[in-house]
Amino acid sequence: MASTPNLRAALASMIADYRAGEIPTPDAAHVDRWISQFPATVRDPILTELLHVFDRTYFTRAKVQTFIDGIVLNVRFAGANPCEFWQGVKVLDLQTAGNSQKDMLTLLANSLLRQCGIAMGLCGVSPHTYLYLDDAVFSGGRVRSDIIRWIKESAPANAKLDVLVIGLHSEWYSTKMIREAAKAASKSIELKWWRAMPFENRKSEINNSDVMCPTAIPTDNATQAYVTSLEKAPPIRAVGGKSPIGIFSGEAGRHLLEQEFLTAGVRVRNMCPHFDKYMRPLGRMMFDSLGFGSTIVTYRNCPNNAPLVLWAGDPWYPLFPRKNN
């Protein structure tokens, strides 16, 4: 294992472009201040596991640009003549809150100009495809509301719609709701999802998922009290399952993060009285649970579906200061 200072410096280096130009560049002192809020015996093990996790789930600006560049010329997505294909794509700008879509559209516009010599604003005059682009889909609430509003207000009677994201959690419910909205509007929408990485979070696959879900409830009084306050017992994962995309180093490392982030998340939640009931210890989620448990963080923001210990603010010190919509 690396020495303690090296662990802090290594994690700081990995997330160095987080909200670049908006907040001070994360350094070893920043990581040390954050990790010092956990018991001394688990600090280095937590950092060691996070280096493994974020190597797979922290998306730097360079990684995102590489993904977009690859999609622009991808034969499966854009066919044998990609630049010709893109001229017929109407890129949707639908989000009314936050800037994740606008940031992604900027990267796409740069890529189209650089690789095809075409201006994105001139594409899709007579569209054969509509494109919804964003960084990640978690519960899918935003993408559903955006697309359903588009279907009701301005979508044509027949449309091919591609949804393109970096990280995609389960899309089945969003697909169901979008198809129902199209049917209600008497429109035919051919929907397809594209992603850089799939993240398994279905309840039926809880034992082999890509999100944090503990195998047991910690015995401390605060966590026990939180669980008791829920109307339904939260889902519990069986020991020994594996993340399909290898987010965690193994059961031991995963168990450590789940237990420590849950316990500290309850503490953070109790520190922040203005959180609503849906802000769970392991991340925002509408129904009774311990939280969504996502580990995705991008260079531009940390989602509130991630554990509270990663992003919650004063009086907690966050690893990823979050920019609210």
Percentage of the chain modeled with pLDDT above 90: 73
Q: How confident is the model at residue 198 (pLDDT cuts 50, 70, 90)?
A: confident
DSSP state of 289: S
* DSSP run (H or E) holding 159: strand 158-168
Decide if pLDDT at 3 tops 80: no
pLDDT digits (tens, 9 = 90+) for 47-65: 999 999 999 999 999 999 9
pLDDT of amino acid 1: 42
Decide if pLDDT at 4 tops 80: no
Average pLDDT of the residues of the chain: 91
Decide if pLDDT at 308 tops 70: yes
54-58, 98-102, 193-197: which range is least confident on average?
A: 98-102
pLDDT of amino acid 96: 67
As beta bridge partners, residue 165 has 195
Residue 248 near residue 203, CB atoms below 8 Å: no
pLDDT digits (tens, 9 = 90+) for 102-158: 888 999 999 999 999 999 989 999 999 999 998 877 777 788 889 999 999 999 999
For the chain, the 3-state helix, strand and coil shares in percent, each to the nearest 5, are: 45, 15, 40
Measured between alpha carbons, how far is 265 from 258 in angstroms, rounded to an integer? 10
As beta bridge partners, residue 133 has 164
The more confidently predicted of residues 324 and 118 is: 118
Q: Which long-range contacts (CB under 8 A, 24 or more apart) does 61-64 make?
A: 61/17, 61/20, 61/299, 61/300, 62/17, 64/104, 64/107, 64/135, 64/166, 64/298, 64/299
The more confidently predicted of residues 156 and 202 is: 156
Give the total residue count for the chain: 325
Q: How confident is the model at residue 97 (pLDDT cuts 50, 70, 90)?
A: low
pLDDT digits (tens, 9 = 90+) for 243-268: 888 999 999 999 999 999 999 999 99
pLDDT of amino acid 286: 85
- Bond prior to 198 in cis (omega within 30° of 0): no
Q: Which long-range contacts (CB under 8 A, 24 or more apart) does 250-256 make?
A: 253/45, 253/48, 253/49, 253/52, 254/49, 254/212, 255/214, 255/215, 256/42, 256/45, 256/46, 256/49
Residue 35 near residue 43, CB atoms below 8 Å: yes
Decide if pLDDT at 2 tops 70: no
